[in-house]
Amino acid sequence: MNLKIKNALISVFDKESIPSLLRCLKKHNIKIISSGGTYKSIKKLGYDCIELSRYTGFKEMLDGRVKTLHPKIHAGILHDRKNRIHRGEMSKQNFPSIDLIVVNFYPFQKVVTGTKNSNEIIENIDIGGPTMVRAAAKNFKNVTIITNKNDYSSLIAELEKNNGRTSLKFREIMSSKAFGLTAYYDAMIANWFNSKLNIQFPERKTIFGRKLKSLRYGENPHQKSSIYINDYEDKKLGFIQIHGKELSYNNFNDIFSSLDILESIKGKAATVIIKHANPCGISEHKDPIESFRNAYACDPISAFGGVIACNYKISKKIAQEISKNFLEVILSKGFDKESLKILKKKKNLRIIDISKFKPKNIMSFKVFDGSFLIQNKNKVILDKNKIRCVTKLKPNKKELAEIKFAFNVTKYVKSNAIVLCSNFSTIGIGAGQPSRLDSCKLAIQKAKQFQPGKIRNSVAASDAFFPFEDGVHALIKAGIKIIVQPGGSIRDQEVINLANKAKIKMLFTGVRHFNH
């Protein structure tokens, strides 16, 4: 049913775009109620407006904390126009109907990102605005609620089309948006309190998110998808695409995986190559181009159509190496002019600058149907208090550094994970096999296929213990000289005996790195 709008209440912190709305309201003889800065802006623009305190007969108090929280306002919003008793009570009180609410909130979100002053943040928790929004959204059969300046044009079109009226469908759509906003707003506030109080797992958890954009499709063409940002800075992702096709669902999934790994490698130039959310090549080296070459050499077949992330600036020389291969996405901390000229020749290659990207290291979520799992990020690599060499032969300082590198990589490989490394570069990765022995065989097979000369004396890292001798036996037979694993199996001693017999080095970390 189309309802005529006679009275509107406007209370907006963001006053952009209100002139076009005011022109439309005046055209359709809609009276305006407002207060504070919004009232002053409306009067300055030359439009008639009733000040809120004059309308209610009650002067705002407590530094503006109480102004719209008044029976004349909320009865005007909430009463059912078809209910005889409601109409009688409104008539007795001489309370007019309020048919349109235009509200946006105090900038809690903006303030949180700009200050750590708790008092200032709390003062920017809006009370009156969300209360009016919820009231109007509940009573959408009788009231139109607008909470986003981007919807002003839709409201204007609706009023023009219906001669100052709004349709039930329009009001219901705006109500849905309004409840989405109040839920989002409250979730941000709740999460701020949880963060402030270091409550990682509250009794009730609300995940807030702002839609950044719709994606072409999901993992497969028959699936729909969008990307949302779960952060107070919810207008951008923190990295900039400067060339190429739009990013897909699978691109984003691989990008996030690559950035997670890249952030864990400090000090040297690092290159990460991802395919289907699994690393297929990782290398750190003092020379960026060697880092790239070593990472790519690990598994060049799997790298085809993959995502490459680098923690260094791409030069002309590196760009020439990259352009020899087919890749979906290249992420780097900057690109020089010559490199961009080379890379942009591939019109579909997504080129992304991550020089200003700062990881938040927030919680990790897995969602299924009506439930979800939450855990904090796995940031442990090696615990110095837990790591111990269990064989007669002990690693030297350089070998310990490589052990750390290899074991770190296992954190990001789907379990069961076996990672073979040589000179701070992966040379074989066995990922996602239900059997740890199969992961060992796969890692060895990859290394033999692409870098057979580097297997001897290499390091093997396992994300969990070896339940049997078979996996260790396969690694020893391939030429591995150092094995790092968490330990903890009832057959640990059998594995240690095998390592001693083969005269290799084995370390127990006491830390498991499952990644499912």
Encoded tokens for 427: 């040379």
Give the residue among 221, 216, 276, 210 at the shortest CA–CA distance from 246: 216
Number of Cβ within a 10 Å radius of residue 250: 18
Of the listed 28, 74, 86, 138, which one is catalytic?
138
CB 244 within 8 A of CB 351: yes
Query: Quick one: which of 56, 71, 62, 51 has its CA closest to 11?
Result: 51
Give the residue ranges of DSSP H helices in 332-488: 337-343, 397-410, 436-450, 470-478
Give, in order, the Cα–Cα distances in Å from 213 to each of 177, 217, 373. 16, 12, 25
DSSP single-letter state for residue 117: -
3-state secondary structure 209-235: CEEEEEECCCCCCCCCEEEEECCCCCC
User: Is 317:289 a contact under the CB 8 Å cutoff?
Assistant: yes
Residue 151 DSSP one-character state = G
What value, to the nearest 5°, has the Cα angle with vertex 63 and ends 61 and 66?
A: 45
Residue 294 zone, left/alpha/beta (φ > 0; ψ -120 to 50; rest): alpha
Query: Choosing from 276, 316, 317, 346, which is the catalytic residue?
Result: 276
Beta pairing class for 165-166 and 3-4: antiparallel
How many Cα atoms occupy the beta-carbon half-sphere of 111 within 13 Å? 18
CA angle 63, 69, 72 (to 5 degrees): 130
CA distance 227 to 225: 7
Q: Token digits for 216?
A: 């072409």
Find the angle CA(328)-CA(258)-CA(247) to the nearest 5 degrees.
40
The answer to whether residue 138 is catalytic is yes
Q: State the catalytic residues.
A: 138, 276
